[in-house]
Amino acid sequence: MKITEIYNDVITENLDYEFKVELNPENPMKWAKTIVGYANSNGGVMFVGVSNDGEAFGLTLDEIDKTKNLVARINDRNIFPHARIQYSMRSVDDKAEHFVLGVHVLQADSILRYREGDYNEKVFTKGDGNALPATPEEIIALGKRKYGVDNETTDIRYDEAKWTEYTDLCREYRDDSLAPTLKELQNEEIVSKDGYVKSGLVMFQDGYEGDDTLICCRLWRGKKKTGTVLDSDRFRGSLASVFQNTIKFIERNTKTGWRKTENGGRESIRSYPKDAVREALVNAMAHRDYSIAGTQIDVDIYCDRIEIVSPGSWLLPKGYEEYPLGSIPSIRRNTIISACLDVANLMERGGTGFQTMIESYEDCVETLQPVVSIYPGFLNLCLRDKLYEDNDQSLEMMTMSDSERILELLRVEGPKPVRELQEVTNYKSRSQFLTEVINPLLADGIVIREGNVKSPKSVIKLTAERKE
């Protein structure tokens, strides 16, 4: 009996399909890649119990149960995210003893990958009847399926008043301290010529409510996640606000030390160079795979390192360690998001972010250099604490109290508003921060207030003798 006689209604719909005599449990990749390819394309059906020429001989009920269990096991262990699968059975004989099993694979909302071992994964697509490994460009195209974060034009017109968090970000980091003009955004193809924003810019809009911008931050006691969480926060909203809030979280939960200089003075040293932290976070935001639903960027601070983990597989043909330091090719998964960060002077088109991180650690031994680890579906960028490993006797290391942090910040960077001083501490309440930190410093004459106490322009500054 031919398969067209019992599955005519399916095959005539012109769906993609393949015939399988059986599904080999010893070599699942031969057929599991078909499932992944269908899911990453438009869906399709595997007919099991059918020869290559379309002759339907069928399977027993026991064989069908074993086949279903095998598909479920491989889907659970080797396919990420899991494929959505439905089954159908149709008899090939009058006695209903043998059946063709239809394994119907539905189109996926995310990019599916086939995993081999702990670190090797492959993305397949269907083309010309075969499941073929996807190129980096095809993976990027697949990633647009759910969120369209590349260059899809929306029906939202650009209005600077709705992107204040993004324009403030630009003013802070651009050399000219200016907000981008509409013409500039159009030239970068972030906004269309008739004024409609691309979908990537929507994620920078004030009040953005999507879960895909979520960043989870945690401060751990010790070197492992099994320790106590000392501080944590979850940031949602526009990519601009999420970036700023994450930077503040890292700054308030990392140490500052100082080194004696040759002239008897001292210079401030941070556990993590500001440029390295910024570049690592920008890289995670720009290159994460926004099509993987239910995921987020994780920022975990340990006593000796920061790990920034972002969803998205490594797109380059070779592993990170196979490229010379500072010579990693630039492949942008999300071109519009990257362009927005480029306009804000947070990302360069030349892909020099890794080089910047490396240069900020150039005075450190090899064991302290930034490291990229590649896992199935995720990238982990690790920055080492420069103070934790530094054995230089001239370095006075300490974990500063909130008051000491305030004084060191004022000494290094000059007068600051109360709001900015509070951000480098663990205080959530402004009134408590004023009562327990600022007011005692004022009372002792260590700092003074300049300007009206109720004015947002008022600042706290060191007294003259404390500056010396």
pLDDT (tens digit, 0 to 9) for every residue of the chain, 468 residues total?
A: 788 788 877 665 556 888 999 999 988 888 998 999 898 888 889 999 999 888 899 999 999 999 999 999 999 888 887 899 999 999 988 778 899 999 999 988 777 888 776 556 677 777 655 677 776 556 656 655 544 455 688 899 999 999 999 999 999 999 999 999 999 999 999 999 999 999 889 999 999 988 889 999 999 888 888 778 888 999 999 999 999 999 999 988 887 766 666 676 666 678 898 889 999 999 899 888 887 767 899 999 998 899 999 987 655 545 555 555 555 555 667 889 999 999 999 986 555 567 778 888 887 887 888 888 777 668 889 999 988 754 444 344 345 667 877 887 888 788 888 888 887 776 778 888 888 889 888 988 889 998 887 777 789 999 875 554
Spatial separation of the C-alpha atoms in residues 89 and 283, rounded to whole Å: 48
Closest CA to 64 of 94, 33, 22, 10: 22
Q: Which two tokens stand for residue 174?
A: 């651009």
Per-residue pLDDT, 146: 45
Helix (H, G, I), strand (E, B) or coil at 386: helix
Q: 414-422 — which CB contacts under 8 Å span 24+ positions?
A: 414/461, 415/450, 415/459, 415/460, 415/461, 416/459, 416/460, 416/461, 417/456, 417/457, 417/458, 417/459, 417/460, 418/458, 418/460, 419/456, 421/460
Spatial separation of the C-alpha atoms in residues 273 and 268, rounded to whole Å: 11
Token look-up 């300007």 returns 451
Q: Which two tokens stand for residue 22?
A: 């059986």
Peptide bond into 415 cis (omega under 30): no
Architecture of the domain whose range is 3-133: 2-Layer Sandwich (3.30)
Its pTM stands at: 0.61
Per-residue pLDDT, 213: 92
Closest CA to 110 of 119, 121, 123: 123
Per-residue pLDDT, 190: 94
Alpha helices in 401-462 (DSSP H): 402-413, 418-423, 430-433, 439-443
Amino acid identity, position 83: A
Residues in the chain: 468
Per-residue pLDDT, 205: 95
The strand pairing partners of 153, in sequence order, are: 198
Domain spans, the chain: 3-133, 135-399, 400-467
Helix (H, G, I), strand (E, B) or coil at 196: strand
Spatial separation of the C-alpha atoms in residues 104 and 131, rounded to whole Å: 16
Element (H, E) at 165: helix 164-173
Q: Report the DSSP pairing between strands 44-48 and 17-20.
A: parallel
Q: Cα–Cα–Cα angle for 177, 179, 182, nearest 5°?
A: 150
213 — phi, psi (to 5°)?
-95, 5
Distance from the Cα of residue 134 to its chain's centroid:
21
Count of other CB atoms within 10 angstroms of residue 394 = 11
Q: Tell me the CB-side half-sphere exposure of residue 265, using CA atoms within 13 A.
A: 7
Spatial separation of the C-alpha atoms in residues 201 and 182, rounded to whole Å: 13
What's the Cα-to-Cα distance from 173 to each of 204, 243, 341, 357, 422, rounded to whole Å?
16, 12, 10, 17, 21
Closest CA to 111 of 61, 165, 37, 209: 37
Q: Is 64 left (phi over 0), alpha (psi -120 to 50) or beta?
A: alpha
Per-residue pLDDT, 246: 96
Spatial separation of the C-alpha atoms in residues 385 and 402, rounded to whole Å: 20
According to the CATH classification, is domain 135-399 in 3.40.50.2000?
no
Spatial separation of the C-alpha atoms in residues 359 and 345, rounded to whole Å: 18
Spatial separation of the C-alpha atoms in residues 69 and 84, rounded to whole Å: 15
Q: Which two tokens stand for residue 147?
A: 């969120």
Closest CA to 17 of 1, 30, 4: 4
The strand pairing partners of 416, in sequence order, are: 460
37 — phi, psi (to 5°)?
-60, -45
Architecture of the domain whose range is 400-467: Orthogonal Bundle (1.10)
Spatial separation of the C-alpha atoms in residues 339 and 346, rounded to whole Å: 10
Helix (H, G, I), strand (E, B) or coil at 123: coil
